[in-house]
Structure 1
Amino acid sequence: MRDKQHIVSSTFGGLTAVAMILMLGFYFGALHNVALAYEAGSDLEPAAIDEIYADVGEDSIWWEPAIGLTPRGKILLNFLSQADREGLRPSDYLPSTNVMTELPASEAAQPDYDRRLTLGLLRYIAEVRDGRLAARYVDPELSDIPTPTNAADLLKAGLRTSDFGAWLEALPPQTRNYQSLREYLQRYRTLAGIEWPRLNTNENLELGSTNPAIPNIRTRLMILGDYPADDDETTDTFDDALLAAVQRFQARNGLTPDGVIGPETYAALNVSPADIATKIAINLERLRQLPKNLGSRYVIVNIPGFDLRAISDGTERLRMRVIVGQKKRRTPILNDKITGIIFRPTWTVPVRVAREDLLPKIKADVNYLATLDFRVLSSWKQGAPELDPHAVDWQSILPERLPYKFTQKSGPNNALGLVRFTLTNPYDIYLHDTPNKNLFAKTDRAFSSGCVRVADVVALASFVMESSPKWTETSIQEAMNASERQVAKLPVPVPVYITYFTATVNEVGDLNLSKDIYGRDAELMRVLGLGPGD
């Protein structure tokens, strides 16, 4: 992972002192007040700002002594004052003085004040393009950070444009998902002003039920957009229209869409619009951390959404269910690439999995090894001899002192299934098949030890091998059912992004919310100082 100070320095063109303040703030739990760190460092006159004024050839960009704010300065101040549209705080980028109405105390103070505005804009550029530093480093599993934006160079180019306002508007990500989430952020901030009393009932409600809470549930679903706005039904009977609305709400919130209002559905209905707005702001932050160009063909996995999509030239070609890492063995966030496919792979059991999962099963029944085609090697050394499992005193072995290496033969029993998609990360995380197909039917699918199990390996293999005429759906299935292991290298590696988004917008414009299965939302809220409605 790239050094934190290096990121700040390259982004601001040498703002090393500010980087140190940010670092100290992180380690002392004060990243919620990053704005103060920037303000404290704003009188350091970083080289980046000097470059900008030298490039413009003026001592002032936003002020003129006779008129105060220039037209361009007014555009800037109006724009930065609306940074909350992006889920950011305007106060992080604007000096404390009300610059729209007040001039600096003296003419001598104007250049410094002008530079403070420039520093605020530099910070805005860096954060709206790449995300905030605190958000980047709160998760130690964020292993690949795209090259940061050079905010100074970008601003110099922006100051040369004929339409500065349009240039500012183009700074945030322009993707459909980002722009749609931004619209939902404003909508839910508006809804945050509506009274949202807690639904208190322990009774499961379903089609045909009668309950005094049903009119309130109907109204709540109407406000959220799941129940028709022109329906004036007021009875306390659970009818077909309410069933459809409940199922739609459940599907949008990562719940089993059975139409029954039980504990999980009540909990989701009780999440206030203000809290949803905060969730959206967190996910806008994550979208800013993605590379600017994902490529023309790529695969993207959303961990809490339990899904995988294959995209080609902006069109979704595949969507399928996935199984991700359980909470104690989380699937990491990765920007990687698929370089090849192994048909009928073998599996070497990771040490942790061998200690925590395999050893207890062996102690319960040593025949478990033979049943699932495991081999036991005396050690992890190259050429270590194979052992007879029945000759080992398994009951006496402590997990932390387990010396053996376990490998599983290829075939239908193999934990990787019949296909493994090879990635390049150093964590041995990859996409693969599974013999446990039944788990894909579950709504919550966090069962793996970190790798991503995919529901339709034939379709995914066909997509990633599309540039190779040899690999058709038929030849892929033949390789899966052959007697020998086979390795196929991709002619062109396919980027794969393993992401963590708990708020997304689907193709028809619906807001989908997922459970924060790893607690990453809560951690981001903490370090960014976000609360309801922020």
Structure 2
Amino acid sequence: MFLRQTSFALAALFVLSGPAFTAPLVTPLQQAVAQAASEDEAIAAFYRARDFAPVWMGEGAEHRRAAFLWALDQADDHGLPTARYDAATIRADFGAARTAATRGALEVAMTKRFLRYAQDVSSGILDPRKVDRTIVLDVPKRDWLEQMTAFTDGDPYAFVQGLWPTSPNYTRLLREKLRLEEMQRAGGWGATVSGGTLVRGSDGEGVVDLRNRLIRMGYLRRSAVSAFDAEMEAAVRAFQIDHGLTPDGQAGGATMTAINVSLDDRMGQILVGLERQRWMNKPLEPRHVLVNLAEQHAYVYDDGKVTFDTVVVVGADTPDRRTPEFSDTMTHMVINPYWHVPRSITVNEYLPALRRGGARHLEVYSRNGRVNRNRINFANYTARNFPFSLKQPPGPRNALGRVKFMFPNQYNIYLHDTPSRNLFARDLRTFSHGCVRVGKPLELAYHLLAPQSDDPKGLFTGYLRTGRESRVNLEQPIGVHIVYWSAWVTPTGRVNYRGDPYGRDVKVLRALQDAGVELDASRS
């Protein structure tokens, strides 16, 4: 079909040639371009629209070619698989192409390379859903026929730079990648720190290694001090804050583990972070909620600035409880919510308790409504044939607490309060069945209601005091983005790292390396 369409297009051009013309309208190069482009529908359509005129060679093409090669020379800075585009081979091929056939094939190959690069740098190298089934982000896509036309008609240098994500998060990660590369070339972070817990007043070889490593990491000014003094304690505390650890100033346990993470491992987190930012390369709502699963923290952004934040508890690290990554829209909140117990929890956790006469805090429902649990012999049912559903009414023991924040989605994930407050004090907060428990739920509710009420706290409290389940719509829906960022840089330049609680970063990094991304930070 493509060959037929291409032939018709070429035939039409040939019809226009004849005695009235001094030269045929179809050159051997155009014919070669048409032949090479016919193997790909989208590329063939692009070239048909321009009568098979080349983009990368001939008069006026030098500027486009130079802009693309310049972009490829920056590809490693973005953590892209440079061998996939192979700028050196492109330069050699242009010098070697002599015949119309080789030039036509090279022309189309260049366009394919360009589209591959444009996709990689603007939307990501990987399909996240193929890396992990719980990464269900909608990656931004572009109409590449339109993009190629824009590239050929406009300033090519401005166009290729416009492909790069403009998020400040992305830009700051790029700078951190360059900093780590410089540090690796300078010898890395030095020896790992051995021994037990080091605290203020400690001395010895372990303290010296700790001092040297903190200096190389940028947490401590250069000195010859061999004792763990107040300055080192402050440096350890700053390190702990940047790594999501309890800032007690003592170097032991989790703190020592984080200090001894290798520079290459941190580089891997930066590369994964860049790819994750490319997956989110789209305009976010002026007001949105961002939940970072790796950090177990949630933020409200207004016009690019954080206006509220809170610790959260997220799904436990089991296949059926890990919180997925996705984006949706928050439309309302429910005050004094009923908890509709999910089927999996009903049959796996509560059915055994029901058989023993327990779980009295739950109401039992059939298709026809609430039933008297005392008339049911729960021993007659298994997880497969259990015909009832369970609900927990509003109250102080309700699993959802006093409020839940709804962004209806197919994964049945939402944010909510909880009566179990003790878990919020932990460094690692992965304990839920998948939903996100909010550390400051009432304050979040007031904050979200503020644009539609002069007294958001009074509005919320009025509903709360009724004890009845009430739905309160948000007059301005709010975007919700559940992400998994284990590396980021704050606007003030503080580099933050977190762990990989679900093992997703390991999968992403392995897939990036399989695609040709190089991890070695010492390469120049």
Pair in the same fold by TM > 0.5: yes
- The equivalent position to 1:131 in structure 2, one of 124, 134, 156, is 124
| Deviation (angstroms), 1:433 | 0.7
Q: Residue type of the partner of 2:444?
A: L
User: Which moves more between the two structures, 142-151 or 192-201?
Assistant: 192-201
TM-score by length of 1: 0.83
- Check 1:479–1:470 CA distance in 2 against 1; reply closer, same or farther (3 A cut): farther
Please say if 1:97 is aligned against 2:102: no
Name the CA distance, whole Å, in 2 between partners of 1:482 and 1:415.
19
SS of residue paired to 1:327: coil
Name the CA distance, whole Å, in 1 between partners of 2:88 and 2:281.
33
Tell me what 1:375 maps to. Answer: 363
Please say if 1:477 is aligned against 2:456: no
Tell me what 1:437 maps to. Answer: 421
Which residues in structure 2 correspond to 1:6-405 (within 5 Å)? 45-54=39-48, 59-64=53-58, 70-94=62-86, 97=89, 99=91, 103-108=95-100, 109-161=102-154, 163-193=155-185, 194-196=187-189, 199=192, 201-228=194-221, 231-232=222-223, 234-290=224-280, 292-328=282-318, 329-359=321-351, 366-367=357-358, 369-370=359-360, 373-377=361-365, 380-383=366-369, 385-388=371-374, 392=377, 402-405=386-389
| Deviation (angstroms), 1:96 | 6.8
Name the CA distance, whole Å, in 2 between partners of 1:60 and 1:217.
60
* Identical pairs, percent: 30
RMSD (Å) for aligned C-alpha atoms? 2.7
- Check 1:195–1:312 CA distance in 2 against 1; reply closer, same or farther (3 A cut): closer
Name the CA distance, whole Å, in 2 between partners of 1:324 and 1:497.
14
SS of residue paired to 1:324: strand
CA contact 2:193–2:210 (8 Å) conserved in 1? no
SS of residue paired to 2:450: coil
| Deviation (angstroms), 1:335 | 0.7
Please say if 1:451 is aligned against 2:435: yes
User: Which moves more between the two structures, 397-406 or 255-264?
Assistant: 397-406
Tell me what 2:406 maps to. Answer: 422
Please say if 1:533 is aligned against 2:520: yes
- Check 1:273–1:100 CA distance in 2 against 1; reply closer, same or farther (3 A cut): farther
CA contact 1:343–1:479 (8 Å) conserved in 2? yes
Name the CA distance, whole Å, in 1 between partners of 2:253 and 2:478.
41
Give per-residue Cα distances to partners, 1:459-495, cap 9 Å, x unaligned: 3223333342376112212322322221112222111
Name the CA distance, whole Å, in 2 between partners of 1:71 and 1:128.
21
TM-score by length of 2: 0.84
CA contact 1:253–1:514 (8 Å) conserved in 2? yes
Name the CA distance, whole Å, in 1 between partners of 2:145 and 2:129.
20
Name the CA distance, whole Å, in 1 between partners of 2:183 and 2:38.
42
Q: Which consecutive segments of 4 or more residues in structure 1 shift more than 6 A?
A: none
Q: Residue type of the partner of 2:141?
A: P
- Check 1:221–1:43 CA distance in 2 against 1; reply closer, same or farther (3 A cut): farther
Name the CA distance, whole Å, in 2 between partners of 1:83 and 1:402.
57
| Deviation (angstroms), 1:506 | 1.8
Unpaired runs of 5+ residues, structure 1, are 1-41
SS of residue paired to 2:452: coil
SS of residue paired to 1:238: coil
Name the CA distance, whole Å, in 1 between partners of 2:195 and 2:382.
46
Name the CA distance, whole Å, in 1 between partners of 2:288 and 2:260.
37
Please say if 1:486 is aligned against 2:479: no
Give per-residue Cα distances to partners, 1:104-148, cap 9 Å, x unaligned: 343221121122122111111112221124334312123341451
SS of residue paired to 2:411: coil
Give per-residue Cα distances to partners, 1:130-186, cap 9 Å, x unaligned: 11243343121233414511123112112222x322321221111111100111111
Tell me what 1:509 maps to. Answer: 493
CA contact 2:64–2:152 (8 Å) conserved in 1? no
- Check 1:101–1:485 CA distance in 2 against 1; reply closer, same or farther (3 A cut): closer
CA contact 2:128–2:136 (8 Å) conserved in 1? no
SS of residue paired to 2:170: helix
CA contact 1:74–1:100 (8 Å) conserved in 2? no
Name the CA distance, whole Å, in 2 between partners of 1:181 and 1:527.
20
- Check 1:187–1:57 CA distance in 2 against 1; reply closer, same or farther (3 A cut): farther
Q: Return the index of the structure with the highest Cα Rg.
A: 2
Name the CA distance, whole Å, in 2 between partners of 1:289 and 1:156.
24
Name the CA distance, whole Å, in 1 between partners of 2:353 and 2:265.
43
CA contact 1:129–1:149 (8 Å) conserved in 2? no
